[in-house]
C-alpha cells in the first residue's frame, strides 16, 4: 500500500501547488474512563495520506522542497514506553517503513515546523478538528507573518479536508479490494447471526455472534452493532441490545466491520422464528421493492437524489396500497406523508468512514454519480406501537434493508449480494439453520 499512499500525497501536492504546505495531525488517543484508553483508531485523512498507525504524529507536505517534500513528526523509540504499549516506528521507521522523506521527533515540532512553512503563501490544514492543535497552527502562522521574511509568509489557511473529500470520493482498485473484503466478512457475520437466532434469546447474544465473526478475523466493528427485536427496530440508532427476542418478533441487524480501515455497512431484517407472518411479509416486500427501485437509478450520470426519489415513490405507493396511508398517491408524495415511517435518506457515501466524506450537492445541485464511487442503499419502514391512524396489526415493526454498492462503468455492482433478501431466501436459510 505504500505506493498507494505516495500517489495520494503526490496528487494532493499537485492540487496544492508549489507555494503551499499542508499540516495534518494524527488522531488523539481517547480515554474510556480515567486512564483506560479506547482502542486507538487513526484519523481517516491522516491514514489516507500516510498509512501511519500511531498517535502523537504530524504529517507535513511541502511541495517542491528540494530536501524533502513529505516530513513526518512522530514519537521516538522508547524501550520503557514500548514495554507497556508496544513497538513504535520512531523517526527511522517512519522513513524506512512508511515512506517519509524525512522524520523528526514529535517533541521537536515547535522548533522545526515553522521553518518548513517559510515562503509558503497557503497552508492547507483541517481547522476545527483539534482545537488545541488549531491554536498551535495559528500561533506559527502569526509568528511567520510578524517576521515577514520573504514577503509571502503564510497569508492564508485553506481547508485541507475539503480538498481531501473530493479525492476520497473516488475509490482506487486497492481501496475497492478492502471494501469488498469488509463487506464479505460483514455478510458472513449476518449469516452467522441468522443461524444462531431463536425466539427467547437476547439481543446481546446475537450481537456476540456478529462480534465473534469480526474479531476471530482480527477485525473491529465499523460502528456499534444494532440488534433490534420487535419495536426496538423503530429506534433508528438502537444500540442497547438488551431485550429478549419473542416468538413473532422481527429482528433488525445493522452491522459492519472495518478491514484495513475501510468500512462496510450492511442491514437485514428477518423473523426471529424463521417465518414471516402476513403483515411482516407485506412490509418487508415493500421495503425490498423500494430497494430494487433504487437499484435502477444507480449508474454513472444519475443524480445522487434519483435513487431516493425512487424509494420514496415506491414506499408511498405501497403504504397507500396497504391502507396505512389514505388518499391519492400524488397528494401523499407532495405532503411527505411517508416521513413518519421513513425518517432518513436512502443512503450515504462509504469508505474510510461509515458515513464517508463527500459532497451530496455541488453548487446547489445534486451530485452526479461517477465510476468508482461507493455508497450504501438503505430503504426502510418503521411503525412504532401507538402510531395514530394506523391499524395496530402493523405496530411495532421496523424493517431496513441496506446494501453496499460501487458505481461501475456500466451501472453498479452490489457488494453485499451474498445476503438472503427475498422472503423465500430468508425462510429457506432460517429453516436450514434451525434444523441443523
The per-residue pLDDT for range 59-87, each reduced to its tens digit, is: 999 999 988 999 999 999 999 999 999 99
| Residue 373 DSSP SS3 | coil
Number of helices (H) and strands (E) in the chain: give both, helices first. Answer: 13, 21
| Domain closes at, from 135, 168, 201 | 168
123/116 Cα distance (integer angstroms) = 11
* Closest listed residue to residue 77, CA positions, set 69, 89, 85, 61: 89
Contact 20, 124 (CB under 8 A): yes
Task: Tell me: do 46 and 177 sit in the same domain.
Answer: no
116/68 Cα distance (integer angstroms) = 10
Task: Tell me: do 35 and 162 sit in the same domain.
Answer: yes
User: Can you list the positions of beta strands (E) in 217-352?
Assistant: 220-221, 226-229, 250-255, 257-259, 262-263, 266-271
- How many C-beta atoms lie closer than 10 Å to residue 28's C-beta? 14
71/102 Cα distance (integer angstroms) = 5
User: How far from 278 is each of 219, 271, 341, 408, CA to CA, in Å?
Assistant: 38, 12, 19, 37
Cell of 217: 478475523
215/268 Cα distance (integer angstroms) = 21
Number of domains forming the structure of the chain: 2
| Residue 243 DSSP SS3 | coil
pLDDT, mean over the chain: 95
pLDDT confidence bin for 103, thresholds 50/70/90: very high
**Structural domain of 319:** 173-435
Q: Give the CATH number, domain containing residue 126.
A: 3.40.350.10
Is 50 exceeded by the pLDDT of residue 383?
yes
> In the chain, what are the helix, strand and coil shares in percent, each to the nearest 5?
40, 20, 40
Task: Tell me: do 134 and 185 sit in the same domain.
Answer: no
| Residue 412 DSSP SS3 | strand
The per-residue pLDDT for range 220-249, each reduced to its tens digit, is: 999 999 999 999 999 999 999 999 999 999
Cell of 418: 451474498
The per-residue pLDDT for range 344-360, each reduced to its tens digit, is: 999 999 999 999 999 99
Task: Tell me: do 155 and 184 sit in the same domain.
Answer: no
- DSSP bridge partners of 400: 380
- How many C-beta atoms lie closer than 10 Å to residue 67's C-beta? 9
pLDDT at 435: 64
| Domain closes at, from 134, 168, 202 | 168
305/364 Cα distance (integer angstroms) = 12
Task: Tell me: do 120 and 258 sit in the same domain.
Answer: no
Q: What is the mean pLDDT of residues 108-134?
A: 93
Is 60 exceeded by the pLDDT of residue 154?
no
Task: Tell me: do 156 and 182 sit in the same domain.
Answer: no
129/136 Cα distance (integer angstroms) = 13
* Closest listed residue to residue 53, CA positions, set 208, 261, 285, 228: 261
| Domain closes at, from 114, 145, 168 | 168
Task: Tell me: do 310 and 281 sit in the same domain.
Answer: yes
Contact 165, 203 (CB under 8 A): no
Task: Tell me: do 278 and 216 sit in the same domain.
Answer: yes
The per-residue pLDDT for range 311-342, each reduced to its tens digit, is: 999 999 999 999 999 999 999 999 999 999 99
pLDDT at 16: 95
pLDDT at 156: 86
261/51 Cα distance (integer angstroms) = 10
Q: What is the mean pLDDT of residues 169-176?
A: 97
Task: Tell me: do 297 and 164 sit in the same domain.
Answer: no
Q: What is the mean pLDDT of residues 175-199?
A: 98
The per-residue pLDDT for range 282-319, each reduced to its tens digit, is: 999 999 999 999 999 999 999 999 999 999 999 999 99
Helices assigned H by DSSP within 156-300: 160-168, 173-196, 203-215, 278-295
Task: Tell me: do 143 and 178 sit in the same domain.
Answer: no
pLDDT at 150: 45
pTM of the model: 0.95
Q: Give the CATH number, domain containing residue 424.
A: 3.90.230.10
Task: Tell me: do 386 and 284 sit in the same domain.
Answer: yes
The per-residue pLDDT for range 9-48, each reduced to its tens digit, is: 999 999 999 899 999 999 999 999 988 999 999 999 999 9
The per-residue pLDDT for range 260-280, each reduced to its tens digit, is: 999 999 999 999 999 999 999
Task: Tell me: do 180 and 164 sit in the same domain.
Answer: no
Amino acid at each position: 500500500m505504500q505506493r498507494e499512499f505516495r500517489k495520494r500525497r503526490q496528487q494532493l501536492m499537485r492540487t496544492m501547488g508549489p507555494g503551499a504546505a499542508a499540516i495534518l495531525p494524527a488522531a488523539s488517543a481517547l480515554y474510556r474512563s480515567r486512564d483506560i484508553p479506547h482502542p486507538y483508531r487513526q484519523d481517516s485523512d491522516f491514514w489516507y495520506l500516510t498509512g501511519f498507525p500511531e498517535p502523537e504524529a504530524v504529517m507535513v507536505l511541502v511541495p517542491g522542497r528540494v530536501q524533502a517534500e513529505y516530513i513526518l513528526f512522530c514519537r521516538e523509540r522508547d524501550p520503557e514506553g514500548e514495554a507497556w504499549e508496544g513497538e513504535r516506528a520512531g523517526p527511522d521507521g517512519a522513513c524506512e517503513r512508511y515512506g517519509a522523506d524525512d522524520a523528526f521527533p514529535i517533541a521537536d515540532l515547535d522548533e522545526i515546523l515553522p521553518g518548513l512553512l517559510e515562503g509558503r503563501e497557503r497552508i492547507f490544514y483541517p481547522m476545527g478538528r483539534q482545537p488545541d492543535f488549531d491554536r498551535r497552527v495559528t500561533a506559527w502562522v502569526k509568528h511567520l507573518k510578524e517576521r515577514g521574511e520573504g514577503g509571502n509568509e503564510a497569508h492564508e489557511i485553506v481547508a485541507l479536508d475539503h480538498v481531501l473529500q473530493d479525492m476520497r470520493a473516488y475509490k482506487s482498485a486497492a481501496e475497492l479490494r478492502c471494501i469488498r473484503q469488509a463487506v464479505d466478512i460483514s455478510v458472513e457475520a449476518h449469516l452467522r447471526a441468522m443461524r444462531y437466532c431463536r425466539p427467547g434469546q437476547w439481543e446481546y447474544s446475537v450481537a456476540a455472534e456478529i462480534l465473534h465473526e469480526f474479531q476471530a478475523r482480527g477485525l473491529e466493528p465499523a460502528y456499534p452493532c444494532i440488534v433490534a427485536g420487535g419495536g426496538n427496530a423503530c429506534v433508528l440508532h438502537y444500540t442497547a441490545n438488551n431485550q429478549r427476542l419473542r416468538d413473532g418478533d422481527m429482528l433488525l441487524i445493522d452491522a459492519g466491520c472495518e478491514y484495513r480501515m475501510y468500512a462496510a455497512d450492511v442491514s437485514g431484517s428477518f423473523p426471529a422464528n424463521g417465518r414471516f407472518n402476513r403483515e411482516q411479509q407485506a412490509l418487508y416486500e415493500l421495503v425490498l421493492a423500494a430497494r430494487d427501485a433504487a437499484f435502477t437509478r444507480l449508474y454513472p450520470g444519475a443524480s445522487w437524489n434519483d435513487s431516493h426519489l425512487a424509494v420514496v415513490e415506491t414506499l408511498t405507493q405501497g403504504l397507500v396500497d396497504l391502507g396505512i396511508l389514505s388518499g391519492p398517491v400524488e397528494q401523499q408524495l407532495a405532503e411527505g406523508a411517508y416521513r413518519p415511517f421513513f425518517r432518513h435518506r436512502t443512503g450515504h457515501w462509504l469508505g474510510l468512514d461509515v458515513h464517508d466524506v463527500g459532497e451530496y450537492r455541488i453548487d446547489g445541485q445534486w451530485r452526479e454519480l461517477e465510476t468508482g464511487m461507493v455508497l450504501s442503499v438503505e430503504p426502510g419502514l418503521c411503525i412504532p406501537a401507538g402510531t395514530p391512524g394506523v391499524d395496530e396489526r402493523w405496530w411495532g415493526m421496523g424493517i431496513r434493508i441496506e446494501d453496499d454498492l460501487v458505481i461501475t462503468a456500466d451501472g453498479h455492482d452490489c457488494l453485499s449480494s451474498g445476503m438472503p433478501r427475498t422472503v423465500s431466501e430468508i425462510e429457506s436459510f432460517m429453516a436450514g439453520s434451525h434444523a441443523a
